[in-house]
Amino acid sequence: MSRRSFNQQRDCQTATNTSLALPSLRPCRYHAMSLLSCLKQDPVLQTLSLPQITTFIRLLSLLKNDIILAQPYYIATDEAPPILPPTTTDFMAESIGIPPEAVSSCWNALKDDIWSYLTPERIEDEVASLFEQNGWSRGITALSLYPPSHECQNPDCARINRLKKAECRQVVVYTLDKGVQPAWSIHLYCEDCQTNFQYEFSVNNGVRTYYGGIPKYIQVGEHQFVERKLVGMWTSLMLVAWVSATNCARSYDMSLSEGQLRDLTASGWQFGSRLSTDHVWDAFIILTLLDYHERRGTCLAVPHTGAQKDRYTTAMRARNLEVVEEGQDEIGHCCDKCMREWVDPVTNATRDVQAALTDGLAIGFARCQEAHCTEELANNRHRFCPGHHHLHDVCAVVGCSSPVRAEHKTCANQQHAEMERLHYERGQAAFTLRSRLQKHRLAHPQNEEQVYEEPESPDSVADDVDSADDVESFHVDDSGRMHIQIEDNPGSVGVVDEVDEVCEASKSPTRNRKFKALFGRSRTHNLQTIVRPCGVIVAQTSFYNAEAVSNVLLFVQKVFSVPRAHKPEHLIYDTNCDAKQQVLAHPDHWSWFLDVGMTVDVSHFLHKHSAGHEFCQEHCNPVAYPELMGPDGKWFFNTSVAEQVNIWLGGYQSMCREMLPTKFNFFLNEMIRLRNQMTVAKLQADGHNPRERVRRV
């Protein structure tokens, strides 16, 4: 909706006759002597109080862009225009409490000083209330979001004249201290190169290219903007308090939007004040990407067409890939808590000793059920990726390849059909619903990103049960009756490599046949992290099928092989006894680890590893490595820090549960980056000398 169509009294020229170049504002103050001179020369000003004059100046200093927008193209923009638009004059008259002709007189007397008055960054409450009372109904707002330049910024365009074609759109701006504010978004169009310049970005050939830097307001929808400070507050709440995007939106609507105090639609605004979860997530993603490109000195470019939910996916994938290939910002970190200078008592040689810890956490995202497939699902409600989508039509019983019956997940086999019936019967049971509710509320109540609605059918209740939530198995007793058996998910535990299960059924100790089926979604097995003893998180990745020790070894080797990374002298891992055996059994393949000490966390070694396990006692006992012991006889490194990091990451389980892998990794990578900043700042404040490691020669 344009301003002209919204307010017929406004004397905007047609789009092709509008000159919109802004003057170069001089950062000067309004001098008292200048005001005194104006008062002596103008009889109208002499009738006004000082508060009226200062309010006159403050209001018009916020409307300079709007004043220019209404001027013909031949009016110069480096000095104040001779007249005000009629709508602006009426607004000023009502706000100041003077006749319209007095507004024109005051403008003639004060326009040069107003034009050089620096537009304030913050809008005072008194001024904001005048816009709300007298301006909104006229289409005049305190906020107008213009492009940063009124000349074409396309380097390939030969245009030298100012941009003249403009489009005005109604928008709402979510602010931190002023609630929801109505505003105008002004688009300037270059007819020569067909580039549309907007507040944050330009659009050309279907590509949205953001300007350098981070703007004060971030566009999260076609007609919605969010103040940068507000997005920063949401990010902080996610980081330190595990507050979900849903609850960020709810809390804003309840306490900060002031939506209950004002009705934007009554003032002619098409858009309400309600903030959605998608707005919060888009704000977080866009600000994170803009900040990333700001640090790199590049500009963010994304598709301008297509759905908003897909617009930033490619950019997020590029950032995720960079983290994999180059590591987190703190990949080269060391400090006095995670690295020590140690003198070998045997050789008397001095060397640096830095440790790293790795551990797994049962948190992940929905994945394709085809073995070893890592392709992303098209929808988080699907069981198979687009490449294996045809398997939705194959029986869900493991090992069976028969086609499914209509509107079922199993084939015509009676036993398989009975398994499906038992599965859905269990899903409809009241005790299952109570159990699932308890699981969702286990970590951080009311932080669920997905709000479950009433199911459309009883079967849809059971569809919500993921295969990774618990372990279902079925067996046939001697009488031929099918039974379902439920076991809790064992969580993330390092295991030795095993062959894939390919058999449809196996025998239990009682000789009864056991079946497995995948009726619900499958999820990645665990999130694996690498942490320094000081608490700096080095890396994270998702294991799709199991925390196999070979996967852990490969993960560690890849992480510490990127630029700026330094191979740790010690790797601490709960299942290092199995990992060390793999290294020694295949020394050529795992030669990277031959000079790395591989021990078990002290607590796990004492309580979860058998004293009779000779290999573990000989190779993985921390006591066998004197460099791990401090001069006071205590352990030098905090070997339980990985568990502490898992507690922090576990707080995001409900937030990340319905994410697809691109967003899952992007979000956790940013949370880790920000947490590392906090950790390094505390290490610096505590005198632990955080720094980039330099390899000792």
pLDDT tens, position by position, 211-236: 989 999 999 999 999 999 999 999 99
Residue 509 has pLDDT above 80, yes or no: no
For residue 14, what pLDDT band results from cuts at 50, 70 and 90? very low
Q: Examine the pLDDT at 251 and tell me if it is beyond 70.
A: yes
> What is the reported pLDDT for 499?
38
Q: Quote the pLDDT of residue 462.
A: 41
What average pLDDT does this structure show over 522-527? 92
CA atoms within 13 A on the CB side of 622: 23
**Strands 143-145 and 180-190, sheet pairing:** parallel
The mean per-residue pLDDT over the stretch 353-358 comes to: 96
pLDDT at 665 over 80: yes
Q: How many CB atoms lie within 10 A of CB 449?
A: 17
Task: Report whether pLDDT(443) > 90.
Answer: no
Torsion of CA 538, 542, 543, 547, to 10 degrees: 50
Quote the tokens at residue 107: 């403008």
Number of C-beta neighbours around residue 641 at 10 A: 23
% of residues, the chain, pLDDT over 70: 80
Over range 56-71, report the average pLDDT: 84
More confident residue, 516 or 282: 282
CA atoms within 13 A on the CB side of 485: 13
Alpha helix segments (H runs only) across 429-506: 430-440, 458-463
pTM of the entire structure? 0.84
Looking at the chain, the whole-number percentage of residues with pLDDT higher than 90 is 49
DSSP 42-70: -HHHHTS-HHHHHHHHHHHHTSHHHHHHT
CA distances from 364 to 270, 388, 546 (A): 40, 20, 12
Condensed to tens digits (0 to 9), the pLDDT of residues 101-120 reads: 888 888 888 888 888 877 77
The pLDDT assigned to 647 comes to 92
Q: What is the mean predicted confidence (pLDDT) over 274-287?
A: 96
Question: CA nearest 60: which of 24, 101, 25, 89?
Answer: 89
- Provide the pLDDT for residue 488: 67
Comparing 511-515, 628-632, 651-655, the range with the smallest average pLDDT is 511-515
Nearest to 171 by CA among 273, 263, 20, 308: 273
DSSP-H helix ranges across 560-652: 576-585, 602-608, 614-619, 641-650
Give pLDDT, residue 666: 98
pLDDT exceeds 80 at position 139: yes
